[in-house]
Amino acid sequence: MRRFTALRGATLTALALSTTLTAAPARAHTARPSGIDHCTATACHFDVPPGTYDVTVRLGAATASATRVTGETRRTLLPETAVPAGGHATRSFTVDVRTPEGEPTGPDGTPGLDLALGGSAPALDAIRVTPAWHARRILLIGDSTVCDQPADPYSGWGQQLPQYLREGLSVANHADSGESTVTYLQDPRLWAAVRPLIRPGDLVLVQLAHNDKTTDEATYRANLETLVAGIRDRGGQPVLVTPVVRRWFNADGTLDNDTALLVNGLGVDHPAVIRSVAAAEDVPLIDLTAKTKQLVESLGPEASKALYLYNEKRDNTHTSVHGATVFAGLVRDELLARHLVPKGRVRV
């Protein structure tokens, strides 16, 4: 059992912050100790510099509780966790703190680490934040179906992936709305900024296709190869991800072969090219197109609406929080199936 220092309050029964920051330039931590230890009944803020941090929470209260933890730009870090009356549950996760804290082309956000407590009956009993010196990272390169979306009702699957990971494995989501392989490589805030951040051993998942509507096949293939080579040059492990399908049905209940399955106006079959590059370059492949196609078709035209923003926005491309969570679960399953992450670091 981890030890916590008690701090009494009206709704927060105990709080402990242990942040001994020592110099480690490669991980963006400074030698300045953090003196902030502030939590309310619904939120916590820690004045720490950009970097990677382990967070341990003890949940529970005199009455039954159910607590979910989100952080930074609406990232779900811990799924809703039920604790019986008088009981406690300890959970740990690792979180990426950066600027900008959400999309790379978005606003900076607030400095430090911000956590929000939600769920049907949140109860935080204690919390500890420490630098994660040995955590492995999953970096994400993608578009609006992947990114940390700034506001409801939108959510990318990368925004929901952290809740499936335990302490020692973090998600650094550098996906950005509206990006294609062309624009991601060209914008200095994107590939040129992300590539130097890749460290040996990092997994780098690449899902770019939705916005390559006018990209010819040769260019699209070359752009994917450039990303793969750049990741490997930094010592990272590239993983190519085919795009999530669009919710666009034929009359017979199957998904449309072009719009839904990401074939652009030039006839470029994006998932097929991604599969081909993965095979040619010996890169692990997560075929999210095949997985989401199977799921969406099994649900059918009506039930599949809940995965997307059809009811809210008549949007058949972008996902709801529910849909992003379901799709992130498919990514989690594929990471495990391909032995890209250790089973002990994943919530199943």
Six token digits for residue 187: 């914008």
Beta strand 113-121 with 65-71 is antiparallel
Q: How many helices (H) and strands (E) does the chain have?
A: 8, 15
Q: Which pLDDT does position 37 carry in this prediction?
A: 62
Nearest-angstrom CA–CA distance, 140 and 246: 20
Name the pTM for this structure: 0.90
Take residue 168 and report the two structure tokens written for it.
């020692």
Domain 25-131 fold is Jelly Rolls (2.60.120)
**Domain edges within the chain:** 25-131, 136-345
Tell me how many degrees the CA angle 26-27-30 measures, rounded to the nearest 5: 100
Reported as type and span, the H/E element at residue 121 is strand 113-121
71 three-class SS: strand
Of 207, 244, 250, nearest to 326 by C-alpha is: 244
| DSSP secondary structure letter of residue 338 | T
Mean pLDDT, the chain cut into blocks of 10 residues (348 residues total) = 33 35 35 50 94 95 97 97 97 97 96 96 94 95 98 97 97 98 98 98 98 98 98 98 98 95 97 98 98 98 98 97 98 98 94
* Cα separation, 118 vs 16, whole angstroms: 20
276: number of CA atoms within 13 Å, CB side?
11
Judge whether 25-131 and 136-345 match in fold: no
Nearest 10 degrees: Cα torsion 177, 274, 339, 194:
-40
The reported pLDDT for the residue numbered 41 is: 86
Arch. (CATH architecture) of 136-345: 3-Layer(aba) Sandwich (3.40)
